[in-house]
């Protein structure tokens, strides 16, 4: 259970977030301080993501924000997994800012959402990461335990 450290920070984030998120980002649920759901949309007219809404799941450990949150896309009938060379079809995201090396504790839920939003905005490739099928079939590890080789972050 998230206690002390994470709770205080997350309640501050929550009070700041309420009704005050940048365009294209909506808070879906924030029950407790372990798991939040947010929806994001790509605002420009990128044909890959037009008229689509994607759902993000944030999982926080008790030592958030010292440790990065676990962030994945989750799918449902009206919430597909966005097509992107750094997003696996099971929703796992390969992004250095979410790894231990790239994470900074001054990042927050909002800034992560914005980073992901802009990652989608800038993408033109209608493709999955290399080895997607194999990874999705075989991976049993949690995203934080996977040693991603971070592709160049400009994509």
Partner 1 sequence: MDSDDDFMSGMSSDEDDVLQDESDNDDGSVDDFGFDEPEPDLGFSQKDVVQKKKSFDVNFKVYHPEDIQAQQDDLINEVNMILDIRKEDAAILLRHFRWNKERLIEDYMDRPKKVLEDAGLGPNVAGPPKLEVIPGFMCDICCEDEPGLQSFAMKCGHRYCVNCYRQYLNQKIKEEGEAARIQCPQDGCKRIMDAKSLDLLVESDLQQRYHELLMRTFVEDKEYLKWCPAPDCQNAIECGIKKKDLDKVVPTVTCDCKHRFCFGCILADHQPAPCDLVKKWLKKCADDSETANWISANTKECPKCNSTIEKNGGCNHMTCRKCKHEFCWMCMGLWSEHGTSWYNCNRFEEKSGSEARDAQAKSRVSLERYLHYYNRYANHEQSAKLDKDIYQKTEKKMIQLQTASGMSWIEVQYLNSASQALQICRQTLKWTYAFAFYLARNNLTAMFEDNQKDLEMAVEALSEMFEKPVQELADPKLKVEIMDKTSYCTKRRLILLADTADNLANGVWSWSISF
Instruction: Name the residues that contact partner 1, by CB under 8 A.
Output: 5, 8-9, 12-13, 63, 65-67, 100, 104-107
- Catalytic site residue 94? yes
Nearer to partner 1, 13 or 58 (CB): 13
Question: Whole-angstrom Cα distance, residue 74 to residue 91?
Answer: 6
CB of residue 114 to partner 1, shortest distance in Å: 12
Nearer to partner 1, 11 or 126 (CB): 11
Q: Are 139 and 147 in contact (CB under 8 A)?
A: no
Q: Which residues, in sequence order, are CB contacts of 104 under 8 Å at separation 6+? A: 97
Nearer to partner 1, 6 or 81 (CB): 6
Complete DSSP assignment for 22-43: PTTEEEEE--TTTEEEEEE---
Question: Whole-angstrom Cα distance, residue 98 to residue 109?
Answer: 11
Considering the candidates 25, 56, 81, 94, report the single residue annotated as catalytic: 94
CB of residue 138 to partner 1, shortest distance in Å: 17
Q: Active-site residue numbers?
A: 94
């Amino acid at each position: 259970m998230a206690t002390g450290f994470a709770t205080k920070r997350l309640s501050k984030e929550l009070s700041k977030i309420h009704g005050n998120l940048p365009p294209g980002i909506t808070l879906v649920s924030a029950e407790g301080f372990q798991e939040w759901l947010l929806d994001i949309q790509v605002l420009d007219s990128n044909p890959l993501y037009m008229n689509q809404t994607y759902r993000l799941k944030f999982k926080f450990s008790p030592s958030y924000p010292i440790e990065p949150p676990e962030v994945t896309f989750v799918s449902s009938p009206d919430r597909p997994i966005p097509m992107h060379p750094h997003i696996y079809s099971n929703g796992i995201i390969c992004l250095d800012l979410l790894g231990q090396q790239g994470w900074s504790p001054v990042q927050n839920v909002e800034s992560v959402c914005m980073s992901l939003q802009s990652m989608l905005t800038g993408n033109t490739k209608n493709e999955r990461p290399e080895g997607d099928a194999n990874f999705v079939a075989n991976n049993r590890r949690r995203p934080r335990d996977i040693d991603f080789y971070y592709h160049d972050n400009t994509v």
